[in-house]
């Protein structure tokens, strides 16, 4: 993972709850992402995980007491917040939500939150029983937090430690990490709706065979992630990949080029999209005479005769709509990228086309891109796909403003 949080100081507050066990994993993940993590715990939190564990994982002294003499001026609620880039409370209990909503200052963590500079974002991840979450008093307090500009992460629905099921389960460590990273990214696409395709398509020959390509979907998923981090409302239409369902936005699964085309057109007709990014490596042809049953090998000289038919051109059709979104296409070539990329952008009639050498990037974690527009082309040097995705999203955001 790239050091997305390099140089960032995060004050990580723990309150009482079984979900404290997830914070051990989150603390390690934050450190791997480059963050300097300063842990502050309530006394209730120490009933679920020890300060020794959190100190070992964070590499920093853990603070519990607002009268901690280890701080030179005996004001840890001031000192700990002054050089923080953000404060995260996870798990955030029902009681601590009440404290934040009412400005209570009866321990180090609550006092630190009230004393934080207005420029320091505060994120909270609720964790509680379903009935506690649904209680009208809790909902009033959560509404007050949101009104005060505090970002509420989750909660999710699922099994709970008490044996009940419902809303109130804290987000998982990887989901919290995604939210924390997103919180520091500039919201250049706030209020924008993006529709993105990713991955390969699979065109059946018979029920067990088909024609596909080597696209892993990693570039498309990275672009969708970067767009979500930039504040966009993202819908991802994905061909068959081995990638996990993304956090933060919806994924529609398809198999064939026709299914992908249909899904794109349904989305565009039902929801206005500001930007369409066609990253998927869509098959140009499908097998017109695909068999309903597995084709058997009867003899060495008896070979199936496959008949091919063109698939719909998703990018060109979207670009030709009467009210088309800003269209970004992808071209995966094997040679002559500058020549073919320039020609493809004109043929598809799109303002921006992104080219790469397909066999040099399919399935890999790195890529290099060439952006083609009316002014010529721009090279984005080789980097990990998430870095390139953020660069591309920044380019798109600048162009549509």
Give the catalytic positions in this structure: 162
CA distance 287 to 274: 34
Pick from 12, 33, 7, 10: which is nearest to 23 by CA? 12
For residues 17 and 127, is the Cβ–Cβ distance under 8 A?
A: yes
Phi, psi of 178 (to 5 degrees): -60, -40
State the Rg of the chain over Cα.
25
The 3-state secondary structure of the chain reads CCCCCCCCEEEEEECCCCCHHHHHHHHHHHHHCCCEEEEEECCCHHHCCCHHHHHHHHCCCCECCCCCCCCCCCCHHHHHHHCCCEEEEEEECHHHHHHHHHCCCCCHHHHHHHHCCCCCCEEEEECCCHHHHHCHHHHHHHHHHHHCCCEECCCEEEECCCCCEEEEECCCHHHHHHHHHHHHCCCCCCCCEEEEEECECCEEEECCEEECCCCCCHHHHHHHHHHHHCCCEEEEEECCCCCCCCCCCEEEECCCHHHHHHHHHHHHHHCCCCEEEECCECCCEEECCCCCCCCCCCCCCCCCCCCEEECCCHHHHHHCCCCCCEEEEEEEECCCHHHHHHHHHHHHCCCEEEEEEHHHHCCCCEEEEEEEECCEEEEEEEEEHHHHHHHHHHHHHHHHC
Distance CA 50, CA 41 (A): 9
């Amino acid at each position: 993972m790239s050091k997305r949080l390099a140089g960032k100081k995060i004050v990580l507050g723990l309150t009482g709850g079984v979900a404290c066990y997830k914070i051990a994993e989150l603390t390690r993940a934050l450190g791997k992402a480059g963050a300097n993590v300063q842990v502050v715990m309530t006394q209730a939190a120490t009933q679920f995980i020890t300060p020794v564990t959190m100190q070992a994982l964070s590499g920093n002294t853990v603070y519990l007491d607002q009268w901690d003499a280890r701080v030179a001026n005996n004001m840890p609620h001031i000192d700990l917040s002054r050089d923080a880039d953000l404060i995260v409370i996870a798990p955030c209990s029902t009681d601590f939500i009440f404290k934040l909503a009412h400005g209570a200052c009866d321990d180090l963590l609550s006092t630190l939150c009230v004393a934080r500079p207005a420029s320091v974002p505060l994120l909270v991840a609720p964790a509680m029983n379903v009935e506690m979450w649904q209680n009208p008093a809790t909902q009033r307090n959560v509404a007050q937090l949101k009104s005060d500009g505090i970002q509420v992460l989750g909660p999710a629905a699922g099994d709970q430690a008490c044996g009940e099921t419902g809303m109130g389960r804290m987000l998982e460590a990887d989901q919290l990490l995604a939210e924390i990273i997103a919180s520091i990214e500039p919201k250049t696409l706030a209020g924008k709706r993006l529709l993105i395709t990713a991955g390969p398509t699979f065109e059946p020959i018979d029920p067990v065979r088909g024609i596909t390509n080597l696209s892993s979907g990693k570039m498309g998923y990275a672009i969708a992630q970067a767009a979500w981090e930039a504040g966009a409302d993202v819908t991802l239409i994905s061909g068959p990949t081995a990638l996990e369902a993304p956090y933060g936005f919806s994924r529609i699964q398809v198999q064939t080029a026709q299914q992908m085309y249909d899904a794109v057109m349904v989305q565009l007709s039902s929801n206005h999209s500001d930007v369409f990014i066609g990253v998927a490596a869509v098959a140009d042809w499908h097998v017109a005479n695909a068999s309903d049953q597995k084709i058997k090998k009867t003899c060495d000289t008896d070979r199936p005769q496959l008949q091919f038919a063109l698939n719909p051109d998703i990018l060109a059709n979207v670009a030709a709509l009467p009210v088309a979104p800003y269209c970004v296409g992808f071209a995966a070539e094997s040679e002559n990228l500058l020549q073919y990329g320039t020609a493809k952008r004109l043929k598809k009639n799109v303002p921006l086309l992104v080219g790469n050498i397909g066999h040099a990037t399919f399935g890999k974690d790195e890529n290099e891109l060439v952006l083609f527009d009316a002014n010529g082309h721009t090279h984005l040097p080789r980097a990990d796909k998430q870095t390139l995705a953020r660069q591309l999203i920044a380019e798109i955001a600048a162009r549509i403003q």
